[in-house]
Structure 1
Amino acid sequence: MKPLRFTRHALVERMPRYGLTREIVEAIVRQPDWVELDPDAPAVERRFGRPPGFIRHVRVACVEEEDHIRVVSVFPDRNARPPDAS
């Protein structure tokens, strides 16, 4: 299992702002509800999950490197809809 590395933006600016812990973000990265490629940066995956107690799905933008997964940004995404949602 590849270790996660958090950018300063994700760890210091975004996660505390939205009350997201490393454990929550790691759970979404490791077992997302669904994954989308970023249309502006194909190397970036958007991994989505809805943690307990959250109304919105959380988007974790990450890049899978050879030896780790880099978490670039994270936030509750009010426009996120699972692919099978009507």
Structure 2
Amino acid sequence: MKPLHFTLHTETVISERQLDRAWIELTVRDPEWAEADPSGPPTERRYRRVPEREERILRVICLETATEIRIITAFLDRKARMPR
């Protein structure tokens, strides 16, 4: 299992947005769905519902390399909808 690297920005938003690191880790390692980030590969968006936050969708932007997964940012995405 690749280690997760939380950037300084991510550490800041976890505190500001009252996010749980466990939610982020679960979203990265076991997303309900994922898509390429519009900024282009290799950045990816990974999504998962958070029951503790009224089923809101957590979006985690990450960059996966051969040796680690770098977490760029995370937030509860009001506009995200699970694809059909």
- Compute the TM-score of the two structures, normalised by the length of structure 2: 0.91
* Residue correspondence of structure 1 range 1-86 to structure 2 within 5 A: 1-12=1-12, 14-55=13-54, 56-84=56-84
The Cα RMSD (Å) is 1.0
- Compute the TM-score of the two structures, normalised by the length of structure 1: 0.90
Task: Look up the equivalent residue of 1:36 and give its one-letter code.
Answer: E
Task: Look up the equivalent residue of 1:69 and give its one-letter code.
Answer: I
How far is the alpha carbon of 1:41 from its aligned partner? 2.6
Where structure 1 has 5 or more consecutive residues not aligned to the other structure, the ranges are none
Task: Look up the equivalent residue of 1:76 and give its one-letter code.
Answer: L
Return the alpha-carbon distance in structure 2 between the equivalents of residues 57 and 22 of structure 1.
Answer: 15
How far is the alpha carbon of 1:83 from its aligned partner? 0.7
Q: Provide runs of 4+ in structure 1 moved above 2 Å.
A: none
Percent of matched pairs sharing the same residue: 43
